[in-house]
Amino acid sequence: MVRRRLGFWQWFAVVLIKPVMTVWTRRTWRGMEHLRQDGPVIIVPNHISHADPLVSAHFVYDAGRWPQYLGKASVFKVPVIGWILHRCRQIPVERGSVDAVKSLDALVKALDAGGAVIIYPEGTTSREPELWPMKGKTGAARLALATGVPVVPLAMWGPEQLFDPRRARINPRPRLPVTVVAGPPIDLSRWAGASPSRQVLEEMTEVIMLRLRDMLAEIRGGTPPPLWQRATRARTDPEAAA
């Protein structure tokens, strides 16, 4: 298991966080078999709460992998905190600057080392009123196209009970139910070898987000809405237009 090769600070993070999550949540984990025990993998969860990283990290760790998240590069420059994040093998990302290409290089390097990299394709918590997925950003698709690494979807429901972003409220009650389901790798083979044009990346991203939406619908029940569009506050769904 990957966890047997953890360093001191990784173990420290596990000892600090996992007991809290074990008490705070009542977990339904499914699909762990889709997270292979070694080799690189890109994990793409839906994003419904600031508690998502804790829940998804718990799931990925229980599946036998060490989760590596992206974090703002500025946080890594904070004394002590930044040092610990580096020791825990988290990945600094430059945003909105010419240095963004360095962030892609850092992600590729993590995958070349066999890492399990977690990217939220929405880029932020969902603004959809009922927390259904939004249209995504293209970072995960760009990384998948550059590396050819499997992209595993991770649908979550329940972290919004721990921290509801719509009310900015933490619920400290124990045993809150959370469900996390990993699916088979998303088939992106039709774009293998394609150049990373905007159209290609947006098409790949749409496939990723629709898979997450449909997986979330299986957890929540009911008919999911079209993907929510941030910019226009309108919903679009290419499947409906086809």
Residue range 15-24, pLDDT digits in tens: 999 999 999 9
> Looking at the domain assignment, is residue 4 inside a domain?
no
> Looking at the domain assignment, is residue 169 inside a domain?
yes
- Number of compact structural domains in the chain: 1
> Looking at the domain assignment, is residue 189 inside a domain?
yes
> Looking at the domain assignment, is residue 164 inside a domain?
yes
pTM for this model (two decimals): 0.90
Tell me the pLDDT band of 242, cut-offs 50, 70 and 90.
Answer: very low
Q: Which domain holds residue 168?
A: 25-55+116-241
> Looking at the domain assignment, is residue 61 inside a domain?
no
Neighbours of 165 (CB within 10 A): 19
Position 241 pLDDT exceeds 80: no
pLDDT confidence of residue 240? 36
Instruction: Give the residue, 165 or 233, on which the prediction is more confident.
Output: 165
Least confident of 71-75, 202-206, 237-241: 237-241
